[in-house]
A and B are shown apart, each in its own frame.
Chain A
């Protein structure tokens, strides 16, 4: 049984997050270890195992990029290892520029405005790639899945940019 089936959801990228959250709580209540406090040790162990599985499934499905990755794995798409270097030169050059842009924020006259500008750029570009990913996953052909794989790898660089931006904002708050 895969994570989608566990929650009784259709195996597709677009899911109703509110519904997922409700289903998650219902399922967790059913297997809550307290319910098995008087059960055998085997029953208790099984409950803990199920609870962990439900939790893993929920964490995977609720996060869009993890859900995309999981869906591609289910479809048997041959994904490059996480550790494999990414060699799209044009894309990486642009990532360098975005990193440099982020570096410049600290030195801006109006730091708040600079943070806002840079976050807008990151968000717009992320969204563009994310929309493409959604379409590619919905198409579900060999070609679109392979493109989705590529886009997913690119989106991870934007995820990192977000983390770096958050760090910078925290740093600026401390000053």
Chain B
């Protein structure tokens, strides 16, 4: 199957690969997986006291589309508030990367990773 140019670009030059210090109270981690294809995605966000995402890193084991989707969202979420980031929809990711229908689940995984990270942050900062 042919990947779009944007997917290939993110796949060959992934942005923000790596890890943030998981013991840093400002760092939230979102872990998600897709049983259908066995992909595993980790998205970490560094969030300021006023709820702005200052940094984002990812590590994904999966196909080119899964890597591209997670790479793209790390670029998109930086500088956004967690509320704004939580509104990122998989359809926007799929559209930006021109994902074919069989790869839509990769964009869903990336959206779910953002949500999981935000949930992790909120559970750490209750009250």
Residues of A within 8 A of B (CB): 82-83, 85-89, 91-93, 95-96, 99, 153-154, 156-157, 159-161, 163
Contacts and interface: CB of A to CB of B under 8 A. Distances in A.
Contacts, number: 56
B36 A92 contact: no
B79 interface: no
A12 B106 CA distance: 34
B10 interface: no
Nearest to B38: A160
Contacts of B40: 92, 95-96, 99, 157
Interface of B: 31-40, 42, 59, 61, 104-105, 108-109, 112, 116
B34 A86 contact: yes
A13 B119 CA distance: 38
B93 to A, nearest CB: 14
Contacts of B42: 92, 96
Contacts of B38: 156-157, 159-161, 163
Nearest to B34: A85
A85 B61 contact: no
A86 B116 CA distance: 11
Nearest to B120: A89
